[in-house]
Structure 1
Amino acid sequence: MPNTNGAWATTRFVDPNDLRHDMHVTIVTFEPGGVIPFAETHVMEHGLYVLEGKAVYRLNQDWVEVEAGDFMWLRAFCPQACYAGGPGKFRYLLYKDVNRQMKLSARL
């Protein structure tokens, strides 16, 4: 991700321009000390499944400890942030609905 000094990266598994898939499937990886330094929100609900490591994740106003095997489902506009304190990488599988509308052409 930009401006993170390599401490936070994403890998997408579904082409976001492919309308056959109305979703994003991504692995998010934080190096030890990696952080989302602000409360971000998204317009869609989304799910996170922790694959590796431990971190604290902000959900609304609460900071929750999460680790490999944990699952979170976040409502739309839920303020969130993350701090991966280490000692190893923190990785999770992220699923987001996109809810795009396909262009329809009229046949006369």
Structure 2
Amino acid sequence: MQTFNFNTEHLIRQAQEKSMRGDHAAAVECLRKAIDMEPQHPGAFALMGDCCDYLGQHEQAIASYDQAIRIDPYHADAWFNKGMSLRSVGRDAEATQCIAKSIELYCGR
């Protein structure tokens, strides 16, 4: 199991709080700092994808989810949310595959 820097985790918590308040742009800034400190943190990339998606930056969201999945191919939330972002840009076949992969991971098949 990988452990992460306390400062990185603090930045990610700040980003989560900002995102929950609807300040996704500020959350992205926190996440950029966290990723600079811990470039192999799948949760930071997944949350970055979520924030970018909320901001309408679907291609950047997809790229962030891809990075989360490269680091942790079992990150079911990243697979699902990537699928939703793909659907937002009209890439329905890819979206369906990603959502199916997330269901497989959620269900343990």
Please classify the TM superposition score into its range, dividing by the shorter chain length: under 0.3
Q: TM-score scaled to structure 1, two decimals? A: 0.27
Q: TM-score scaled to structure 2, two decimals? A: 0.27
Task: Using CA pairs under 8 Å that are at least 6 residues apart, name the structure with larger relative contact order, 1 or 2.
Answer: 1
Larger gyration radius, structure 1 or structure 2: 1
Which of the two has greater helix per residue?
A: 2
